[in-house]
Amino acid sequence: MNQAQLRPEAVAATRQAGLSPPLPQIPADIFDPAHYAPVRRSLLEAETLPAWCYISEAFYRREVEQIFLKVWNFVGRADRIPSPGDYVAFDFVGVPVVLLRDKQGEVRAFVNTCRHRGTQIMSGEGNCAALRCPYHSWTYGLDGRLRGAPGMEDTVGFDKSDYALQPIRIDSWDGFLFINFDPDSIGLREYLGDLPERFACYNFADMVCVRRKEYDLACNWKVYVENAMESYHVPTVHGLTLQKQKRDINPPIAANGEYCGLYTRHIGSRALLAGDTGFPYIPTLTGEATEGTFYPLIFPSTMFALTYDCMWWLEIHPRGPSHMKLIVGSCFPRSTVERGDFDEVLAKYVRRWDQSIPEDNDISERQQLGLASPFTAPGRFSALEPLVHVIDNWVLDRVIGPAR
Ligand code: FES
Ligand SMILES: [Fe+2]
């Protein structure tokens, strides 16, 4: 008999007896709220999520349905497609998506699936006058309307106007693009709440994305988000690189919107390695932004780091229970990017990101390997990882239902 077949009382009795029971496979009743009661307790009394939340196909599918297909998902900066006809195609939780800039200069998003027989139309990125399906040459305008459908003249009752690309809701905040697959969801402004106002002094609208790097990782998306939103691991995982950062015991920032975050008071840009000097500070910073760094997480999976001289983001595209794509984007004020020494000084920032991000990537993949074991049991939280608990409960609220 494996753990999946053991009744919870039997497991508890085994644990009380000090024995090490064989631990969870994936139970059949995975969505029973009883499994998650220990995660629902307050931080210092709670257990971590059961390991199956990070490896189960069924749990992942429910996350896609209940979270990613319903929320505003961050998909990069608008300056990635600056000119009419510019496009980027990518997969987001199994949906082929194409973002483009139309002739009027508006950014649009469409399901990147041909209305004829479903072929993925665009791939990669580039500039186009129209979207032409590589299978039978159905051709769509930048507004999504079907313009050409050769060979369809004799098809009874066929009207091109009935076969436009399916639009996806898209909205932006200061150059950050978000898509939403749910036509009934609240608007982006309401979703973000007071976040745009709170961070207005960073003047993101005047920033330029100067670097964008993608990584394919063999870990669950929550593994990565949890890592990014706690500083408990910093002395261990980044011991040789970011060691000058002390452990944060600041409480999470109060948030009014679908986000949470950390704030750390410190001296010197967090985007540089110890001892390096970089660019002038963002001239418009005020208040706490002049004394430290904010690390907001826009639920469920978009992380920003807002420091004195720049911002960088971690964008996650989940790709199944055990895989994800990570995109790291870096933005600086336009006045910084226009400096003669920009490329030279930027190299110091790149050195920092190229050291610390692979460290987080490696530990996340390593955690996934451990979580995949049938013997992994829930653990406990430190006071240094309050947002891991917040994130896990945010997920449970949507996948399992509100706490009772
Ligand atoms: S599937 Fe696209 S034109 Fe046939
Ligand atoms: Fe880290």
Query: Does the pLDDT value for residue 248 go beyond 70?
Result: no
C-alpha torsion angle, residues 41, 44, 46, 49 (rounded to 10): 130
Which pLDDT tens digit goes with each residue over 18-53?
A: 655 554 578 899 999 999 999 999 999 999 999 999
DSSP state of 65: I
- Model confidence over 204-233: pLDDT tens digits? 999 999 999 999 999 999 999 999 999 999
Cα–ligand 2 centroid distance for 47 (angstroms): 22
pLDDT at 249 > cutoff 50: yes
Give dist(CA 296, CA 261) in Å, integer. 4
Ligand 2 centroid distance, CA of 392 (Å)? 18
User: Any idea which of 11-15, 28-32, 80-84, 191-195 has the lowest mean pLDDT?
Assistant: 11-15
Q: Can you spell out the DSSP letters for 341-395?
A: THHHHHHHHHHHHHHHHHHHHHHHHHHHHHHTSTT----B--TT-HHHHHHHHHH
**How many A from CA of 138 to the centre of ligand 1?**
6
CB 350 within 8 A of CB 279: no
d(CA 133, CA 120): 7
Tokens at 313, concatenated? 């983001």
Q: Residue 8: in which H helix or E strand, if any?
A: helix 8-16
Q: Which two tokens mark 201?
A: 């002094």
Note the CATH number of domain 194-399. 3.90.380.10
Q: In terms of DSSP bridges, do strands 146-148 and 139-140 run parallel, antiparallel, or are they unpaired?
A: antiparallel
Identify the nearest ligand to the CA of 150 by its number: 1
Q: Which helix (H) or strand (E) holds 335?
A: helix 334-337
For residues 144 and 141, give the distance between their C-alpha atoms in angstroms, rounded to a whole number: 5
84, pLDDT greater than 60? yes
Mean pLDDT of 172-180: 98
Q: Which ligand is nearest to the CA of 352?
A: 2
Q: Give the type of residue at 100.
A: L
pTM of the model: 0.92
Average confidence score pLDDT of the chain = 93
Cβ of 116 less than 6 Å from ligand 1: yes
Q: Are residues 183 and 166 in contact, defined by beta-carbon separation less than 8 angstroms?
A: no
Q: What is the pLDDT of residue 17?
A: 57
Q: Once rounded to an integer, what is the mean pLDDT over residues 100-125?
A: 98
Residue 361: CB atoms within 10 Å = 19
Check residues 231 and 147 and name the one with the higher pLDDT: 147
Q: Is 132 in the pocket of ligand 1 (CB under 6 A)?
A: no
Instruction: Give me the pLDDT at residue 376, please.
Output: 87
Ligand 1 within 6 A of 122 CB?
no
Residue 245, ligand 1, Cβ within 6 A: no
Strand-pair partners of 98: 89, 110
Ligand number nearest to the C-alpha of 116: 1
Q: How many CA atoms lie within 13 A of 343 on its CB side?
A: 1
The residue that leads in pLDDT, 322 or 251, is 322
Q: What is the pLDDT of residue 239?
A: 84
Atom number, ligand 1, closest to the C-alpha of residue 138: 3
Rounded to an integer, what distance in angstroms lies between the CA atom of residue 172 and that of residue 178? 6
* Distance set, CA 30 to CA 1, 25, 59 (Å): 18, 10, 8
Cβ atoms of 141 and 125 closer than 8 Å: no
Tell me the CA–centroid distance for residue 1 and ligand 1, in Å: 51
Ligand 2 centre distance from Cα of residue 286 (Å): 27
For ligand 1, whether the C-beta of 375 sits within 6 Å is: no
Report pLDDT for 5: 41
CA dist., res. 274 & res. 184, Å (int): 47
Q: What is the pLDDT of residues 260-275, one digit of tens each?
A: 999 999 999 999 998 8
Domain boundaries, the chain: 73-184, 194-399
Q: Which ligand is nearest to the CA of 163?
A: 1
Give the C-alpha separation, 52 to 328, whole Å.
27
Would you say the CB of residue 334 lies under 6 angstroms from ligand 1?
A: no
The reply to whether ligand 1 has any atom less than 6 angstroms from the CB of 62 is no
Ligand nearest to the CA of 165: 1
**Ligand 1 atom nearest to 115, measured from its CA:** 2
Instruction: State the Cα–Cα distance between residues 52 and 333, nearest whole angstrom.
Output: 43
Beta-carbon contacts of 184 under 8 Å, excluding residues fewer than 6 positions away, are none
CA 139 – ligand 1 centroid, Å? 9
Token pair belonging to 68? 């990613």
Report in angstroms the alpha-carbon separations of 236 from 24, 239, 244: 28, 5, 12
* 401 phi and psi angles, rounded to 5 deg: 120, 160
Task: Find out whether the beta carbon of 134 lies less than 6 Å from any atom of ligand 1.
Answer: no
Q: What is the pLDDT of residue 246?
A: 59
- Check pocket membership of 149 for ligand 1, CB cut-off 6 A: no
The pLDDT score that the predictor gives to residue 8 is 45
Atom index in ligand 1 nearest the CA of residue 121 equals 2
Q: How far apart are the first and last CA of the chain?
A: 31
How far does residue 247's CA lie from ligand 2's centre (Å)? 12
Nearest protein CA to atom 4 of ligand 1, as residue: 136
Of 163, 134, 136, 158, give the one whose Cα is nearest residue 147. 163
pLDDT band at residue 14, thresholds of 50, 70 and 90?
Answer: very low
Domain 73-184 sits in which CATH superfamily?
Rieske [2Fe-2S] iron-sulphur domain (2.102.10.10)
166 phi/psi in degrees, rounded to 5: -80, 120
Ligand having the closest approach to the CA of 230: 2
Nearest CA to ligand 1 atom 1: 117
The separation between CA 307 and the C-alpha centre of its own chain, rounded to angstroms, equals 19
Strands 207-217 and 131-132: unpaired
Poorest-confidence range of 203-207, 231-235, 236-240, 378-382?
Answer: 236-240
Pairing relationship of beta strands 259-265 and 95-101 according to DSSP bridges = unpaired
Atom of ligand 1 nearest to the CA of 133: 2
CB of 255 within 6 A of ligand 1: the answer is no
